[in-house]
Amino acid sequence: MAEPAPVLLETHGALAVVTLNRPDRLNAFNEVQHRALKGIIDSLDSNHDCRAVILTGAGRGFCAGQDLSDRVQPEGGAAPDLGYTLETFYNPLIRTIRGLQKPVIAAVNGVAAGAGANLALACDIVLAAKSAKFIQAFSKIGLIPDSGGTWMLPRLIGEARAKALTMLAIPVPAEEAERIGLIYRAVEDATLMDEAMKLGARLAEAPTLGLAETKALIQKAFTQGLEAQLDDERDAQRRLGRSGDYAEGVRAFMEKREARFEGR
């Protein structure tokens, strides 16, 4: 019998739902799943009809990071080159999600551990089921928080919490994650996908170019000063002022009707 696809893609109009699909391993990454996910995200990136993306997991987990069954070393055997796997798989994935010119929602349906937690945090809006938890599991196996973890965590929750949660690999339940600003919102388990779909549908009808510029500017804010940020805001607003969606938004406001944005 054929192996099930390691990543599933469904489209609902302009909204794409991408599901990690190795539930027996809590959707931990092996190379096949990495290649499938990257292929799908790249195709959504270049697909103008796709205007928002939801990333979620099949079964009871979101993603448990690297599949450790691929990392067992025989006594005295050669060590794997983890720099290679970061360079080849994890880093391009995080860069692509951060660079995607459309919003990405993580719908964290269950445990998100290791690179799986940081994959969720790299998304633009993180919703999590109340039963989900986030674990920076790396220190338990002697590694650092990769997939952008050491960059994102101090920015999201501050240095003190970032160091404690990573060094101690403390599981953070979804409601606590919301309280400390690690994620946007924790919702009832039964409503997670409904909430994510509602949010996704709303974003898929929003002015996509404006959202893409907003995403890029907010991400940049951590790396430059106010002067440079003001210049970048000016340039982005100049570009957006020439967009069809801006013209439509102003017309719709003046005509007291809902705008019909086309993502152009």
Instruction: Kindly list the residues in this chain that would bind ligand T3D in the complex (CB under 6 A).
Output: 25-26, 28, 64-69, 71, 82, 85, 111, 113-115, 135, 137-138, 140-141, 143, 146
- Sign of the C-alpha dihedral, residues 210, 214, 217, 219? negative
Tell me the closest approach of the beta carbon of residue 70 to ligand T3D, in angstroms.
7
Alpha-carbon gap, residue 259 to 216, rounded angstroms: 24
Minimum distance from residue 69 beta carbon to ligand T3D (Å): 5
Q: How far apart are CA 101 and CA 209, in angstroms?
A: 7
Compare residues 14 and 28 and give the one whose CB is closer to ligand T3D.
28
Q: In the complex with ligand T3D, which residue's Cβ is closer, 25 or 215?
A: 25
Q: Provide the CB-side half-sphere exposure for 43 (13 A, CA).
A: 12
Q: Which is nearer to ligand T3D, 115 or 259 (CB)?
A: 115
Nearest-approach distance from CB 33 to ligand T3D, in angstroms: 11
Q: How far is the CB of 206 from ligand T3D (least distance, A)?
A: 32
Half-sphere exposure of 92 (CA within 13 A, CB side): 13
Nearer CB in complex with ligand T3D: 28/44: 28
- Minimum CB–partner distance for residue 189 and ligand T3D (Å): 15
Nearest residue relative to ligand T3D (C-beta)? 65
| Min separation Cβ 9 and ligand T3D, Å | 23
Which is nearer to ligand T3D, 107 or 135 (by Cβ)?
135
* Beta-strand pair 111-113/61-63: parallel
Nearer to ligand T3D, 28 or 204 (CB): 28
Length of the chain: 264
